[in-house]
């Protein structure tokens, strides 16, 4: 206890220094945004884009983005639990975390957080290396049906969105989803490298991670998991290409639990203001994301429904014993 | 083009950014736990107020400075500031104990400069070639690479093979902790959620090296006065130069391509450089190996700086980050609305060439900053041991806590510190444990990926020419001493029976 008090005493002057100029009376205390993944991935991008947009509104604002990688974000989630009552902390999260909580049998679930807002959706892109013999999704599916083990699928962590899309595609094609030869990679960069080096037969990941390389011709896009074609990449929807699969990988913000009304409102207002900024709109367009803004109570309801839906999908695919 | 780049970089303001970058980088390199990735991430917000050229000049300075700074504590205190300078401690600290600390620091500084400069030059001329080679590396090739690194470092397994293997085993077990990536199952986490992410290499290196060393020194303090370490002359003699330049070049040749490999990292080239220098050592060097040979500092230090430049190859040409620092620099590029990739060189030549020119400048500045400081740093050894090691324990704990702000990391650090102390008491070498911890998980995951991609057919492991060549090399390294001993024994028997 004495140690802690000493630490607080030591930190106080520092805090006073950092608060200098921003004026804590106006409610602009330092905000921290946790990206519960390694730098470079979708959650990290979202967190850093949000940081940028918030700073474009208020350049003097202190914002820190930090990474807590691992276990589909559940490590970050359990750290968030320890910050309960802290109204100056946001955590990026999304569909992947909903699945990871189930898969890792995490003690802390998303029910233990304060939902703030859903921000964007990103559709998933199915690609093959430029050297691949498969020109269309139908070609690929034919080969996949012939021998599922031969088609190695590169994507993010086991049980994540990419894995779920691969499973749903297999199911739609009449292949047992449990037979998908899924090769998990940590972070988008690693899976991308396996595809650029023509090491795997196909890849599934967010449009943003592949689009640039589809444009440069190093990867061929066979389908996108959207309900209609999207502007940022020239590819048919999976439905048009013959597989009835549609999935949006949404991302948003939650805050620690046990926040009072006022603190909740402050965060929702802040994120709503950020969503309205030009910097945010530009970044959404640039990254090929789709705006899917939903804040406060509607998002809380959506999150509750999503937890039930994903739990069912994952069980059906045999990802949880 | 490059000259225009120098024109961009050589403004007084940008020089100031470069100076700030290398100074900061050296500092975070010296502090265990805090690395260049975290520093660049924390400084990312400056991209809103600083023009792109200035920001990248500073970031590159931090990256290079961090690679260099880690060597200082390795050499002086046997406590590596970064995992990539762990190997430097093996010979560097022995040199320091023999009064050659200043020479070890100088060869590290000049080697870093030489390697950084050559590697940056390679970045200019060979980036497209190197990147094609780098992405052609598949999981089977990485597996073969890990096997080769294992066999190469068997020479650091100390004289007692059993002790070396025991230490390696500790490392492999520590490397298993955490979630298995391919199946998502937790291993050896003892139900502690904070261990799901695994134990970071830097915690292991700091715990085993720094804390273990501090505890060991403390336990010996009562037994009489510690010997006074002479600081010695401050300059590289002629023989030091002639013994250093080849290792610098070889280290550069190893480090640059490894940095460009998405799964290469800065550690493996330092392992390989160390073992190559050891095998090539002749005469004085051969006798000195294990007691402080300058080659064992010059090679690995050149290798880790060259790998920092190598990392920029896939980053600039493909937008593919291959290290944590590179990932954050990618984010910085995107904040300026720039997308690294094949088009970057065409669309933003001023920025790219300015950055490359600033790499040359940052490197030179690092040398100017650190060479005169080498004898000053060496005087650190005159600080009374109790204060010195109390300081090390403090900084080690601070650095490790700064990683994730998690008290679990601190518990792990102290448990590992006790393990390091015990290992020293029983004469177990420390390096194999850290090597096992770095290489073990890499070998495992790449092997499983290769087998999954090959649908369970083990032949994929030798199907790629790169993998086959690397495995053949490892086999050769393993068999040569055996065959040599066998031949010798046969000859002796024939001579005896005659």
- Quick: pLDDT tens for B74-93: 888 887 877 788 888 888 98
**CA of A151: which chain B residue's CA is closest?**
B453
Q: Is the dihedral of CA A251, A314, A185, B407 positive or negative?
A: positive
Does B185 contact A at CB distance below 8 Å?
A: no
Tokens of B190: 């003892």
- CB distance B193–A150 less than 8 Å? no
* Torsion-angle region of A62 (φ positive above 0: left; ψ -120 to 50: alpha; else: beta): beta
What is the pLDDT confidence band of residue A137, given thresholds at 50, 70 and 90?
A: very high
Under CATH, which architecture does the A122-224 domain have?
A: 3-Layer(aba) Sandwich (3.40)
Structure ipTM: 0.75
CA-to-CA distance for A98 and A160, rounded, in angstroms? 9
Q: Is the dihedral of CA B335, B337, B339, B342 positive or negative?
A: negative
Tokens of A307: 């937890």
Residue A237 gets which letter from DSSP? B
CA geometry: angle A207, B130, B315, nearest 5 deg: 40
pLDDT at B442: 86
**CA of A186: which chain B residue's CA is closest?**
B181
Does A79 contact B at CB distance below 8 Å?
A: yes
- Residue B225, classified by CB atoms within 10 Å of its CB into exposed (0-12), middle (13-18) or buried (19+), is exposed
Cβ distance B387 to B217 under 8 Å?
no
pLDDT at A39: 66
All structural domains of chain B with their residue ranges: 2-463
pLDDT at B468: 93
Mutate to test the interface with B, among A50, A69, A184 (most CBs of B within 10 A): A184
CA-to-CA distance for B339 and B332, rounded, in angstroms? 10
- Does A289 have pLDDT greater than 60? yes
Q: Which parts of chain B have pLDDT scores under 50?
A: none
Cβ distance B348 to B358 under 8 Å?
no
- Quick: pLDDT tens for B458-490: 888 988 898 999 999 888 878 877 888 888 888
SS3 B423: helix
Which residues of chain B does A44 touch, with a Cβ-Cβ cutoff of 8 Å? Answer: 327, 331
- CB distance A39–B328 less than 8 Å? yes
Residue A204 gets which letter from DSSP? E
CA-to-CA distance for A92 and A50, rounded, in angstroms? 10
Q: Which residues of B320-347 are buried (b: 16+ CB within 10 A; e: fewer)?
A: bbbbbbbbbbbbbbbbeebbbbbebbee
Which residues of chain A does B139 touch, with a Cβ-Cβ cutoff of 8 Å? Answer: 194, 199
First to last CA, chain B: 74
What is the pLDDT confidence band of residue A14, given thresholds at 50, 70 and 90?
A: very low
CATH of A19-120+251-316, one of 3.40.50.1820, 3.20.20.80, 2.120.10.30, 3.40.190.150: 3.40.190.150
Does A63 contact B at CB distance below 8 Å?
A: yes
- Quick: pLDDT tens for B112-152: 999 989 998 888 887 777 777 877 888 899 899 888 888 87
SS3 A297: helix
CA-to-CA distance for B100 and A188, rounded, in angstroms? 46
Residue A116 gets which letter from DSSP? E
Cβ distance B347 to B304 under 8 Å?
no
Cβ distance B272 to B314 under 8 Å?
no
CA-to-CA distance for B11 and A316, rounded, in angstroms? 62
pLDDT at B498: 59
pLDDT at A321: 55
CA-to-CA distance for A214 and A230, rounded, in angstroms? 14
Closest CA relative to residue B325, chosen from B33, B79, B35, B91? B35
Tokens of A19: 């608060």
CA-to-CA distance for B139 and A184, rounded, in angstroms? 12
All structural domains of chain A with their residue ranges: 19-120+251-316, 122-224
Helix (H) or strand (E) holding A232: none
- CB distance B184–A72 less than 8 Å? yes
What is the DSSP code string of B238-278? HHHHHHHHHHHHHHHHHHHHHHHSTTTTTHHHHHHHHHHHH
- Does A2 have pLDDT greater than 60? no
How far from the centroid of its chain's Cα atoms is residue B458's Cα? 32
């Amino acid at each position: 206890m004495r140690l802690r008090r000493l630490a607080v005493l030591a930190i106080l002057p520092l805090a006073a220094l950092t608060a200098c100029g921003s004026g804590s009376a106006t409610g602009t205390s330092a905000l921290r945004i946790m990206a519960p993944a390694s730098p470079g991935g979708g959650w990290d991008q979202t967190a850093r884009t949000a940081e940028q947009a918030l700073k474009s509104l208020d350049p003097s604002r202190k914002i820190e983005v930090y990474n807590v990688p691992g276990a589909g974000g559940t490590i970050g989630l359990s750290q968030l639990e320890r910050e309960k009552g802290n109204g100056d902390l946001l955590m990026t999260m999304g569909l992947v975390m909903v699945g990871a909580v189930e898969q890792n049998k995490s003690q802390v679930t998303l029910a233990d957080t304060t939902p703030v807002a859903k921000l964007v959706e990103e559709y998933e892109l199915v690609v093959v290396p430029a050297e691949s013999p498969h020109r269309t999704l139908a070609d690929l599916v034919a080969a996949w049906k012939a021998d599922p083990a031969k088609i190695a699928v590169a994507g993010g962590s086991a049980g994540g969105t990419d894995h779920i899309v691969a499973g749903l595609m297999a199911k739609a094609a009449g292949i047992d989803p449990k037979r998908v030869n899924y090769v998990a990679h940590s972070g988008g960069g690693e899976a991308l490298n396996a595809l650029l080096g023509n090491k795997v037969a196909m890849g599934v990941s967010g449009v943003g991670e592949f689009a640039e390389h589809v444009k440069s011709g190093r990867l061929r896009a066979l389908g996108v998991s959207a309900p209609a074609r999207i502007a940022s990449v020239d590819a048919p929807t999976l439905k048009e290409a013959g597989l009835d699969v549609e999935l949006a990988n949404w991302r948003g913000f939650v805050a620690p639990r046990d926040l009072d009304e006022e603190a909740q409102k402050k965060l929702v207002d802040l994120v709503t203001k950020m969503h309205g900024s030009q910097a945010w709109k530009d970044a959404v367009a640039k990254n090929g994301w789709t705006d899917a803004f939903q804040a406060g109570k509607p998002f809380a309801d959506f999150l509750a429904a999503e937890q039930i839906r994903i739990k069912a999908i994952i069980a059906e695919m045999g990802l949880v014993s | 083009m490059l000259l225009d780049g120098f024109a961009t970089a050589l403004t007084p303001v940008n020089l100031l950014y470069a100076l700030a970058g290398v100074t900061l980088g050296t500092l975070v390199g010296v502090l265990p736990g805090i690395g260049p990735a975290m520093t660049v991430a924390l400084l990312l917000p400056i991209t809103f107020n600083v023009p792109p050229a200035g920001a990248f000049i500073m970031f590159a300075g931090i990256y290079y400075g961090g690679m260099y700074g880690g060597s200082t504590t390795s050499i002086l205190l046997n406590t590596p500031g970064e995992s990539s300078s762990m190997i430097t401690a093996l010979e560097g600290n022995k040199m320091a104990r023999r009064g050659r600390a200043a020479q070890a620091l100088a060869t590290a500084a000049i080697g870093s400069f030489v390697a950084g400069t050559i590697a940056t030059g390679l970045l200019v001329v060979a980036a497209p070639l190197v990147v094609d080679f780098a992405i052609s590396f598949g999981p089977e090739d990485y597996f073969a690479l890990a096997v080769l690194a294992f066999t190469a470092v068997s020479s650091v397994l100390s004289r007692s093979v059993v002790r070396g293997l025991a230490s390696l085993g500790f490392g492999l077990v520590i490397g298993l902790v955490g979630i298995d990536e391919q199946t998502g199952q937790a291993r050896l986490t003892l139900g502690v959620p904070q261990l799901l992410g695994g134990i970071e290499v830097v915690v292991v290196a700091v715990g085993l090296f720094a804390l273990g060393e501090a505890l060991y020194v403390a336990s010996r303090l009562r037994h009489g006065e510690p010997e006074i370490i002479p600081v010695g002359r401050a300059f590289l003699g002629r023989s030091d130069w002639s013994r250093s330049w080849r290792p610098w070049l070889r280290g550069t040749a190893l480090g640059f391509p490894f940095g460009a490999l998405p799964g290469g990292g800065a550690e493996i080239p330092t392992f390989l450089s160390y073992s190559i220098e050891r095998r090539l050592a002749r005469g004085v060097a051969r006798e000195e190996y294990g007691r402080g040979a300058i080659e064992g500092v010059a090679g690995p230090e050149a290798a880790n700086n060259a790998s920092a430049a190598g990392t920029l190859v896939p980053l600039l040409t493909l937008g593919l980050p291959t290290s944590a620092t590179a990932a954050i620099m990618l984010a910085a590029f995107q904040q300026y609305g720039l997308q690294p990739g094949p088009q970057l060189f065409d669309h933003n030549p001023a920025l790219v060439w300015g950055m490359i020119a600033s790499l040359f400048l940052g490197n030179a500045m690092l040398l100017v900053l650190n060479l005169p400081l080498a004898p000053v740093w060496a005087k650190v050894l005159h600080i009374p041991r109790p204060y010195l090691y109390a300081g090390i324990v403090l900084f080690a704990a601070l650095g490790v806590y700064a990683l994730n702000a998690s008290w679990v990391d601190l518990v792990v650090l102290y448990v590992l510190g006790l393990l390091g102390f015990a290992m020293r008491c029983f004469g177990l070498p420390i390096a194999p444990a850290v090597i096992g911890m770095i290489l073990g998980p890499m070998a495992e995951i790449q092997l499983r990926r290769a087998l999954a991609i090959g649908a369970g057919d083990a032949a994929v492991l030798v199907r790629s020419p790169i993998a086959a060549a690397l495995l053949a090399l490892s086999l050769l390294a393993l068999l040569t001493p055996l065959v040599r001993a066998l031949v010798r024994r046969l000859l002796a028997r024939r001579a005896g029976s005659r």
